[in-house]
Chain A
Amino acid sequence: MSGSADHLLSLAEAERARLRTPLHDQLVERLYEEAGRIAARALDRSGEARRFQFDLLLDRILTSRILGLPAMAALFGGAFWLTIAGANIPSALLTSLLVDHGAALLHRAADAVHAPAWLQGLGIDGVYLAVAWVVSVMLPPMAIFFPIFTLLEDFGYLPRVAFNLDRTFRWAGAHGKQSLTMMMGYGCNAAGVVAARIIDSPRERLIAILTNNFSICNGRWPTLILISTIFVGASAPPAAASLAAALTVVTVAVLGIVVTLLVSAFLSRTLLRGTPSVFSLELPPYRPPRVWQTIYTSVIDRTLIVLWRAVQMAAPAGAVIWLISNVEVAHRSLAHWMALGLDPIGALIGLNGIILLAYVVAIPANEIVIPTILMLTLNAARSKLAQKGVMLELDDTATRHVLIHYGGWTLLTGVNLMLFSLLHNPCSTTIMTIWRETRSRKWTWLATLLPLALGFGVCFLTATAARTFGWAPR
């Protein structure tokens, strides 16, 4: 078979050598000539100019040197504000409904049928609570953010964003469309990774996938807001407390953008050097968005599917967290031993063993990192405030009290936790998604370990600096 195939190929080569003009160009030219002829016969464009001018005018504004970037900042600033402001109330409602009342109700029901305590613990305190937590933190912001984003997409604005920002990304060897996968990443990194499909050039698509984790997803925003409030805000003068906290969060997010660009530049100049890359960016016409249909499809396609995957991941994590807190070896829980074991590494990078353990067991969802830390800290201190294995949420003052007095946290711990929240491995949902999208073990591992290595490196540096200059206890 292959012998005759070789014959065929060598024949083709011989025939190709005879040709004088580049065949592909000739072919495409002939095709376009014909397409042009047919279109000319079938189309009447006499009325075209006016509408065309309108689209052009809109584009002149939305991509103008003076107004283009401010308009973009205003649109996305508004979108993020709506998401944060709008998600607060439903999130609180869901938390009270699912976490507080739901768990109590389930316990009462389980008591009624005399379910054994360990089963109640594993099922309700472990699995159910983790799921309830993820749903109440994750669902409202996504249900607001994704539809807004999708409406902008439907309107045709998003390609203009890529157009406006392409130059920055070009510097990093990436594609302007990566700005959009990053924005999706602010909602959910798994969704951001999938969104990288809009980039049709292989190298740029891979860069967008590998760096999406540096966009802070909505599972991480609450951690940043909480820690910046109780550590940075609290150490600022009271009048400036909330401003200082807000600025801290923004700084971390901006740091994420800087890291994205630097890592993109690094990848495109090293590992991905020579990977094929062709830039093209079409600017489709503006279309009036169909509001209801957009909301429906974005809630179904993006929000619920992403949520469902997160729930699938959170459920076993809840079980594991409950188990390691309740299985005792030599009068201490497994969690306690594990935290003790991780303590030296944690101390080296300005964190502690409990934080690292929380990041290990909460790999399925960043949402449950803080509740897990609080629970583990209280359990380790043998406080009666927390039941073993039951994640909990406290108000800001109580959280601060618990972390500082029971956990021994300092400002350095707070700052490094924020840095580590930005720079650590993607959640398992995102890792799975990267695997599905790239089908490559190599890239999946790299996407997982690179941010983690960066996190350890950066936290080690800040910890060392802080201790050297006496800002933090040794």
Chain B
Amino acid sequence: MRLRRGSGDGDSGCQSCPMAGSAAVHRPGLSIEGCDYVVALAGNPNTGKSTVFNALTGLRQHVGNWPGKTVVRAEGAFRIDGKKFRIVDLPGAYSLLSNSSDEEVARDFILFGRPDVTVVVVDATTMERNLNLALQVLEITDRAVVAVNLMDEAERKGIRVDTRALGRDLGAPVVPMAARSGLGLPELRAAILGVASGTIQCRIHPAPDLGAEVEASLARLTEAVLAEYPGLPNARWVALRLLEGDPSVVREARNGTLGDGLHGHVVDEPAAAPTGAS
């Protein structure tokens, strides 16, 4: 029954733990009644993700200078221009490829929970490692905002970030932030609203080319996946995981639960979003 295992049949585990603060925890697709958009907050551990979460929601979840504070997902709500947003603070993840249980929670939500906007918080001081995750997210969704946090710290360290160049390369809105002091928050809110309402368009970042041999295998497998699960978003991504032998995706394929989050959420959602399903 643990939330962090499997794709979405978990019960909320931690409502009363001291660190979860006042934010409740729910499974994907459960708590969208009464809100217009769902926002997922992703990022490497210790990038100030929870600080961004607190800044957006006005909640005061405990934040530490310490990787791995938010292990379960915390949820909150906020409004922009009268639109009601529900935001899910996902556990920190270095990658969507790995198999740690925390990363699975993050990955399953982004992939199958299909949030309207995914905000990827990246640490301006360790940009490369953070971009590794951002690229993976941008590969599976075209509705993302990249928040470059800790700009103040980067400046103190003597690192200058050209967020415009970054935006061009990533194909998604990039917002420079110093969430601890609230800098960049209005811009982030505007970007979230823009992406959610469709006034800002991102482009899916092309997945890295793995060479002719792999790509050919992948194409055959993607076709098979789509035959099995018609309309599955990110079929290439799923095919790549299967090709890799990713245990959790293999397990889900075996149980026939691949993309179950889909039924909980996207189906109920007003068809406002012409999402770029691969």
Contacts and interface: CB of A to CB of B under 8 A. Distances in A.
Interface in B195-217: 208-211, 213-214, 217
Contact of B128 (A35, A49, A287): A35
Contact of B62 (A19, A282, A298, A439): A298
A301 B217 contact: no
A395 interface: no
Given A20-B213, A38-B170, A436 B129 contact: no
Contacts of A306: 18
Contact of B18 (A30, A39, A48, A194): A194
Given A8-B225, A202-B101, A439-B2, 18 more contacts: A2-B255, A5-B228, A12-B221, A15-B217, A15-B220, A19-B243, A27-B97, A27-B210, A30-B210, A31-B132, A34-B131, A34-B135, A43-B159, A48-B157, A150-B62, A194-B17, A284-B66, A290-B180
Contacts of A156: 65-66
Interface in B39-79: 45-46, 60-69, 71
B16 interface: yes
Contact of B245 (A16, A158, A287, A437): A16
A146 B177 CA distance: 29
A393 interface: no
A164 to B, nearest CB: 16
A9 B242 contact: yes
Interface string B151-184: 0010011111111011001100000000010000
Contacts of B129: 35
Contact of A436 (B13, B125, B157, B224): B13
Given A19-B214, A306-B18, A158 B221 contact: no
7 contacts: A8-B224, A12-B245, A15-B243, A16-B243, A44-B160, A154-B64, A202-B101
A35 B131 contact: yes
B275 interface: no
B185 interface: no
B116 interface: no
Interface string A226-263: 00000000000000000000000000000000000000
A42 B169 contact: yes
Contacts of B163: 42
B32 interface: no
A165 to B, nearest CB: 16
Contacts of B169: 38, 41-42
Interface string A14-26: 0110111001101
Interface in A122-168: 150, 153-156, 158-159
Interface in A18-66: 18-20, 23-24, 26-28, 30-36, 38-39, 41-52
B2 to A, nearest CB: 5
Given A1-B256, A27-B97, A282-B67, A47 B159 contact: yes
Interface string A276-295: 00000010110100100000
Interface residues of A, number: 76
Interface string B1-28: 1100000000001101111010000000
Interface of B: 1-2, 13-14, 16-19, 21, 45-46, 60-69, 71, 95, 97, 100-102, 125, 127-129, 131-132, 134-136, 153, 156-163, 165-166, 169-170, 180, 208-211, 213-214, 217, 220-221, 224-225, 228, 239-240, 242-245, 250, 253-256
A2 B252 CA distance: 11
A159 B64 CA distance: 11
A385 interface: no
A297 interface: yes
Interface of A: 1-2, 4-9, 11-13, 15-16, 18-20, 23-24, 26-28, 30-36, 38-39, 41-52, 150, 153-156, 158-159, 190-191, 194-195, 197-200, 202, 282, 284-285, 287, 290, 296-298, 300-302, 305-306, 309, 433, 436-437, 439
Identify the 7 closest CB pairs spanning chains A and B, nearest first.
A47-B158, A30-B208, A35-B131, A12-B242, A44-B160, A15-B217, A301-B62
Contacts of B60: 296-297, 300-301
A12 B218 CA distance: 9
A332 to B, nearest CB: 40
A197 B73 CA distance: 13
Contacts of B214: 19, 23, 26
Contacts of A36: 128
A285 B132 contact: no
Nearest to B158: A47
A305 B18 contact: yes
A51 B156 contact: yes
